[in-house]
Amino acid sequence: MKYCSLCLLWLLCCMSCTSSRKADQPTARLAVIPTIDQVGAPRLPEAIAPVTAPFPLPAFNKPVFPALTISIIEQGATQQGLATKAIQSAIDVVSHRGGGTVTVPAGKWLTGRIHLKSNVNLHIAEGAELHFSGAVEDYRPAVFTRNEGIELMSLGALIYANGQENIAVTGKGTLIGPASGSLKDQIMTTDVIENVVPLDKPVSERVYEGYNKEVIFPPMFISPINCRNVYIEGVTLRQTPFWNIVPVYCDGVIIRGVSVYSVGIPRGDGIDIESSRNVLIEYCTLSSGDDCFTIKAGRGEDGMRVNRPSENIVIRHCLALEGHGGITLGSETAGMIRNVSVQDCVFSETGVGIRFKTRRPRGGGGENIYYERIRMILRGEAFKFDMLGSKTHVGELAERLPARAINAYTPRFRDITAKDLVIEKASMFVDISGIPESPVENLLIENALVKTSKKLIAARDVKRFTVRNTIVITDDSVISVLDGRQILFDSVIFKTSGRLRMKQAGDLTDSIRFQQCTPAKPMDWLSDSWRRQE
């Protein structure tokens, strides 16, 4: 059978990452999927290769800084006591003189918050350890920032910039966040942020500085806001108090060869792109206490007020290790996440592989999302859509039914393509929980080899979902569909533990088809298609 021979050839190609094809065999099935030793920070090349994506992008180039170089030692920094003033003085001097590089030399240095300025490259030399204080007072006064998608005045970031251009953090040194102290002790943990920050007040009045032991909202590690042309390369980040690298409202961001270690730190995301555009992330290695690579666009009412998308983003040649999700969209989605391309990445012993999160009152959503040539070795699901959330965060809106009226705060995920995938291990192939009034729309998974999956597919509230040219080896034999419509399995080989079964439920479930599959149809079906009887 021609179809079977082609699929087996493609399977062998994916397993060996080599191919030898005959003239009549289509190359579309012979993509080379990277292995763990081909991605991540150790593989960072010197030059930025041209970037291709299914949407327009600007050219991504390394920034150029003037020749001026000042060591923080020249401004009085010592390894005894805080070096904040000396570091900030060096940055201010270099920026005032037209730009250049501020060097943190080898050694252990202690600092509070650092403000990057235009045309300055903060270079952390190999052997340098820049330790950040654990005292709240070393991060005052409050600065304009965004925390979990809501604007406020708080501590900002350990390395912060606002409204600057052509800024960089580079080098082979290590940045180490606060281990303990008042900063960590005063972080707000009692409720979700939208229940604490008064959204009816101007942002200038939403001030959280931590005086008199009042709560603060945790600072990110590196977070430029309202900046253009941001470059981060080579550094290692450890022990963050919150999310690690978080460009907010930025245009033109390149993050290369960065290593992050925040395992065990709640909300210790690796890299979060928030309402920023024209972004390249490549050759990074993330081990995170929460999601690894994350894209966000504001939260609910406040995010809708700001209404700024995250768009035109490429993530390539990266490695996600421990973390809740390899690549996650959301759950803050108000301004929309669009035009995202994830290419040639490996997720190894990560929780979920490809993750989508939003909530009924969050607004916005995601569209025009592409994944290509991804290898996954997972503890959790390969694909997981979680659009309802929990009562802890959104109360009764987490209940699937009744369906609600669509309004400005109804999020959506649509137009998503994932192709050329090897899933070495997963707890489940696909797990979709959409919203009844806003189902996941136009999801295509193509050219996938699922070597082992404990569970098969559960699709709830989805419209136009296709799996094509795929081999699934699973301990399960059940596909569950609840209010799913226009579902197509095209040229799929199911190697299941028992006879393939379909459980369909819901008044909206309709039009499920198997086309050139093995087996040709689920047991108990009379034909290879199922339609609701009128």
Look up the CATH number of the domain holding residue 321.
2.160.20.10
Q: Say which residues have a Cβ less than 8 Å from residue 229's Cβ, sequence separation at least 6.
A: 63, 165, 166, 167, 251, 252
- Model confidence at 55, in pLDDT bands (50, 70, 90)? very high
Stretch 169-186: mean pLDDT, rounded? Answer: 95
Identify the band that residue 3 occupies on the pLDDT scale cut at 50, 70 and 90: very low
C-alpha distances (whole Å) from 521 to each of 233, 473, 478, 492, 499 are: 51, 16, 12, 11, 10
Percent of the chain with pLDDT strictly greater than 90: 92
Query: Rounded to an integer, what distance in angstroms lies between the CA atom of residue 214 and that of residue 450?
Result: 50
Q: Which of 16-25, 80-89, 262-271 has the lowest mean pLDDT?
A: 16-25
Mean pLDDT to the nearest integer, 416-423: 98
Alpha helices in 327-421 (DSSP H): 391-394
Name the helix (H) or strand (E) containing 338.
strand 337-350
Q: Which pLDDT score is estimated for 17?
A: 42
- Element spanning 44, H or E: none
What is the per-residue pLDDT for 12? 40
Predicted model pTM = 0.94
Using alpha carbons only, what angle is made at residue 194 by residues 461 and 413, rounded to the nearest 5 degrees? Answer: 25
Mean pLDDT for 423-450 is 98
Query: At 9, which amino acid appears?
Result: L
Confidence of residue 15 (pLDDT cuts 50, 70, 90): very low
pLDDT digits (tens, 9 = 90+) for 461-515: 999 999 999 999 999 999 999 999 999 999 999 999 999 999 999 999 999 999 9
27 pLDDT more than 90: no
- Please tell me the distance from the alpha carbon of residue 320 to that of residue 287, in angstroms, as a whole number: 6
Q: What is the pLDDT of residue 28?
A: 40
Confidence category of residue 392, pLDDT binned at 50, 70, 90: confident
Which pLDDT tens digit goes with each residue over 195-245? 999 999 999 999 999 999 999 999 999 999 999 999 999 999 999 999 999
pLDDT of 31: 85
Range of the domain at 187: 36-67+113-466
- The pLDDT confidence band at residue 533, using thresholds 50, 70 and 90, is confident
Residue 88 domain flag: no
Mean pLDDT computed over 139-149 = 97
Compute the C-alpha angle 6/10/14, nearest 5°: 170
For residue 209, the SS3 value is coil
Reported as a single tens digit per residue, the pLDDT across 287-301 is 999 999 999 999 999
Q: Measuring CA to CA, which residue among 191, 195, 151, 192 is closest to residue 335? A: 151
CA pair distance 319, 260, nearest whole angstrom: 11
- % the chain with pLDDT above 70: 94
**Could you tell me how many residues make up the chain?**
534
pLDDT recorded at residue 26: 35
Average pLDDT value over all residues in the chain: 94
**Residue 201: Cβ within 10 Å count:** 11
The order of strands in the sheet holding 220-225 is 114-115, 157-162, 220-225
Tokens standing for 394? Answer: 């959104």
CB 118 within 8 A of CB 166: yes
User: Residue 18 — pLDDT band, cuts 50, 70, 90?
Assistant: very low
Is 421 part of a structural domain of the chain? Answer: yes
| Residue 23 placed within a domain | no
For residues 34-43, give the mean pLDDT.
98
Does residue 87 lie in a domain region? no
In a domain, 503, yes or no: no
Q: Is residue 453 part of a domain?
A: yes
Total structural domains within the chain: 1
Confidence of residue 21 (pLDDT cuts 50, 70, 90): very low
How many CB atoms are located within 10 Å of the residue 498 CB? 10
C-alpha distance from residue 125 to each of 64, 168, 197, 233, 253 (Å): 18, 13, 39, 12, 22
Residue 9 has pLDDT above 60, yes or no: no
Q: Is residue 180 part of a domain?
A: yes
Reading the block at residue 87, the tokens are 């570091």
Is a pLDDT exceeding 50 seen at residue 450? Answer: yes
Within a domain: 523:
no
